[in-house]
Structure 1
Amino acid sequence: MHLLKMSKSRIFQICGIMVSVFMILLIIFYWDDVGTPHFYLHTAITRIQATHLPTMTNQNHDHPNSKKAIEEKMPSSKVDIIQDDLELTYVENTKGYQERGSREMEQTFNAISPSSLEEQLQGFDLGINSAKTKTALERIQNERKQTIKDICADSSFMFSGKNRNFEDIPNKELDHLIVDDRHGIIYCYVPKVACTNWKRIMILLSESLLKQGTPYRDPLEIPRDLVHNSSSHLTFNKFWKRYGKFSKHLMKIKLKKYTKFLFVRDPFVRLISAFRSKFVIQNEDFYKRFAIPMLQLYANYSKPPPSVSEAFSAGIKPTFINFIQYLLDPRTEKDMPFNEHWRQVYRLCHPCQINYDFIGKLESLDEDASYLLKLLNVEKLVQFPPSLRNRTVTSWEEDWFARIPVAWRRKLYELYKPDFVVFGYPKPTNLLFD
């Protein structure tokens, strides 16, 4: 009798193992076949209900450094307002946020998977105000993508992380890859490159936020603080918590089948933009985290004012020279990586590990944005918001770097050289030689 019980127990154990193996094989086969959206049927996707959000108050409305004041005071030829350049401070009150459960996915992967770029290019009317034809824009994209491939394959040009495999990228370094499963799109956002409005576009397409119970239809209606709230987006770094050891496998499937894009900008101009928006305009968080250490280390202020308002009232601010000193200081990255607003693009978006389908540039934002929305076949759903920006902002480089020693400029170029080379920006020789 005892042996009979043992044999039955053994049979149950064997059956259990066989069932487990079968289920694992079924899951793997199912993922590879349909691209994973059915898995979302069992996964709650958080949405933020914006119905009861508090009124967003612009604290800088009457401040001399507010966006409105600067526009009024400066000649139009000197206005350099890009969506991310002047960051107005809003009253934040998370008590108004309410979470809503997600609705189930309605389509299989094959239904939402975008066609190849070649298929999407056939026969559409570009319909944008551009002197470039569809063929010219396609050629530009091919050149940008080929430049990345050539540099990534060039063993004579090395930079950190260039040769690692996608599987080796730490999960925390994948937080800039936003996924829209409804349309099969992945966007790697780069701060200071119109990322606020591109994030708005991704929210609208994925319907990840609701206003009074319905998804947003106008990207500019989405409040700025919600746009930059991490819970508003599904990003790759969240996959591990949801899918555990299967997360990288899932990411690779989406990278293979989804359309991937990013927007870049001249690296030195991006640094100028970052400095202006975070240290020329009052920003309490950046003042405490970065400005105070800069003032202590490079400006001989042993005890800087504790708040940004007190510092600005006293005329105490880090200079652009202090900012460059901070970037070049080897101590800066010992404790943590560069902040995302001045971290190199190759470290944010991993161009040698991810084969991007579209590389846009801020210098040609309007035509690139319109062209991309056509390629994604979403131009009837959303239009990229018009931008207010000075087209000659690159010419400001010499003025901003005039007081930076040439030796420092050269070191700074070496620090950001991968971004210049990988994304096809010319070497700023006018800044690097006496």
Structure 2
Amino acid sequence: MNRQRRPGDRGWAGMHVLKMSKSRIFQICGIMASVFMILLIIFYWDDVGTTHFYLHTAFTRIQATHLPTMMSQNHDHLNSEKTIEERMSSFKADIQDDLELMYVENPKGYQGEGGSHEMKQTFNAITLPSLEEELQGIDLGINSAKTKTELERIQNERKQKIEDICADSSIMFSGKNRYFEDIPNKELDHLIVDDRHGIIYCYVPKVACTNWKRMMILLSESLLKLGTPYRDPLDIPRDLVHNSTSHFTFNKFWKRYGKFSKHLMKIKLKKYTKFLFVRDPFVRLISAFRSKFGIQNKDFYSRFAIPMLQLYANYSHPPSSVSEAFSAGIKPTFVNFIQYLLDPRTEKDMPFNEHWRQVYRLCHPCQINYDFIGKLESLDEDASYLLKLLNVEKLVQFPRSLRNRTVTSWEEDWFAKIPVAWRKKLYELYEPDFVVFGYPKPTNLLFD
């Protein structure tokens, strides 16, 4: 049955249509305004720079009360003034990565079962009154005698080397020719950003990264102690230094900025000062082995040592705990470690751990134009020069480093039991790092 049209229906319908039109117009205007604001932010940022445009600073500052329970307890412990003994104890732990089980007078001793005992003796010998006397063969670091012109020339040579290798079509390695946009988000987790000073640091484990991370925390003020930013880098506990929540890294952009992430990354890469520190690839491997398998490390034992012992050391049922294994003198040898690196099954299961992953895979030197390339072999002078270039030398000072003068002999000593054929395969695996960062080919290890 058809409904009879009433006199007011047409007017009511017209008003309804008019209201809908106004609502639609408001929606469209709202959308256009939002798009305009986003574009304005992006173009404003791109044009005037981001040194004073702190998009994330207010969100990334971390309070101790927001940290996990165990971390908060460790953090609170440092709230009281430290005694000299406490500072020295902390210092011993902090330099462990740099000393790397201290290869002082008998490097071969650290490869056998006696290595752990000698290592403990060395660390126990470090006392405050006679620190420099006890660390025989160790350089505590001195001011660079090089002029500014010489340091500039060295940096230009290092940067030019990277540019030449990346442009050389005859040299190929994984990921060399891809665009920055094609780098997966998970591979950008080593790029730490400091918006306060316009700095990006790509950290490389086993290359003084603990202290450089501390420097980034101080500069960005991303971590607070009793509501106040840290001022002394060595006051920052190691567990907080290596906690991912203490740093704002590129891989976190996606969660915060969504589809604009890569565009913002590229703006920062264009505007900010970018740096990294590298090290002789084979010496870095030795360092990684010593610090992760030469001493008791629960995590690395369960994740890596047990599989190594099962696959390469004929232990079908190795001890389940690292303390039990070390008490029984059971731990992977350097030979087992090299076998693990060369085994094709290793990378099929998961990518190399960051402590032995190649630097070119961590920092992408062919996609990121680094402004400064430091080397562990010249850490003190490079660190001092970099802080001056960043104009922050009055705000922070890099902790004095302890370097082993005998590092040039490490490779021959440690690779003595590695077959030459294995050494050649290992060099092929790490050749891009040798070539890109200007380290000489270790010919003494690659030929009989």
5 Å-filtered alignment, 1:332-347, equals: 332-347=346-361
**1:132 Cα shift?**
1.5
With 65-74 and 260-269 compared, the bigger mean Cα shift is at 65-74
For residue 384 of structure 1, give the secondary structure of its aligned residue in structure 2. Answer: coil
Q: Structure 2 CA distance, aligned partners of 1:20 and 1:229?
A: 36
**1:419 Cα shift?**
0.1
Cα 1:10–1:376 shift into 2, 3 Å: closer
Q: Structure 2 CA distance, aligned partners of 1:250 and 1:44?
A: 18
Cα 1:356–1:328 shift into 2, 3 Å: same
Cα 1:73–1:46 shift into 2, 3 Å: closer
Larger helix fraction of residues: 2
Cα 1:417–1:264 shift into 2, 3 Å: same
With 89-98 and 341-350 compared, the bigger mean Cα shift is at 89-98
With 208-217 and 53-62 compared, the bigger mean Cα shift is at 53-62
With 38-47 and 55-64 compared, the bigger mean Cα shift is at 55-64
Cα 1:137–1:304 shift into 2, 3 Å: same
Query: For the pair shown, which has the larger CA radius of gyration, 1 or 2?
Result: 2
With 48-57 and 195-204 compared, the bigger mean Cα shift is at 48-57
Contact 1:54 1:96 in 2 (8 A): no
Deviations 1:278-312 (A, max 9, x none): 00011000000000000000011111100000000
Tell me the TM-score normalised to structure 2 length.
0.79
Cα 1:6–1:311 shift into 2, 3 Å: same
* Same amino acid, percent of matched pairs: 90
Tell me the TM-score normalised to structure 1 length.
0.82
Cα 1:401–1:259 shift into 2, 3 Å: same
Q: Structure 1 CA distance, aligned partners of 2:54 and 2:115?
A: 12
Is 1:163 aligned to 2:177, yes or no? yes
For the aligned residue pairs, the C-alpha RMSD in angstroms reads 12.8
Deviations 1:179-207 (A, max 9, x none): 11111111100000000011111111111
Cα 1:305–1:123 shift into 2, 3 Å: closer
Contact 2:186 2:251 in 1 (8 A): yes
Contact 1:51 1:211 in 2 (8 A): no
Among candidates 424, 436, 442, match of residue 410 of structure 1: 424
Name structure 1 gaps, 5 residues minimum. Answer: none
Contact 1:188 1:262 in 2 (8 A): yes
Deviations 1:101-159 (A, max 9, x none): 99999999999999999999999999972231111111000000000000000000000
Contact 2:424 2:446 in 1 (8 A): yes
Cα 1:325–1:237 shift into 2, 3 Å: same
For residue 337 of structure 1, give the secondary structure of its aligned residue in structure 2. Answer: coil
**1:34 Cα shift?**
3.7
Cα 1:183–1:266 shift into 2, 3 Å: same
Cα 1:347–1:259 shift into 2, 3 Å: same
**1:44 Cα shift?**
4.7
Deviations 1:382-423 (A, max 9, x none): 111111221221211101000000000000000000000000
Contact 1:113 1:183 in 2 (8 A): no
Deviations 1:57-94 (A, max 9, x none): 999999999999999999999999x5524689999999
Q: Structure 1 CA distance, aligned partners of 2:231 and 2:173?
A: 42
Cα 1:222–1:7 shift into 2, 3 Å: closer
Give the count of matched residue pairs: 433
What is aligned with 2:81? 67
For residue 302 of structure 1, give the secondary structure of its aligned residue in structure 2. Answer: coil
Cα 1:118–1:57 shift into 2, 3 Å: closer
Contact 1:79 1:389 in 2 (8 A): no
For residue 27 of structure 2, give the secondary structure of its aligned residue in structure 1. Answer: helix
What is aligned with 1:89? 102
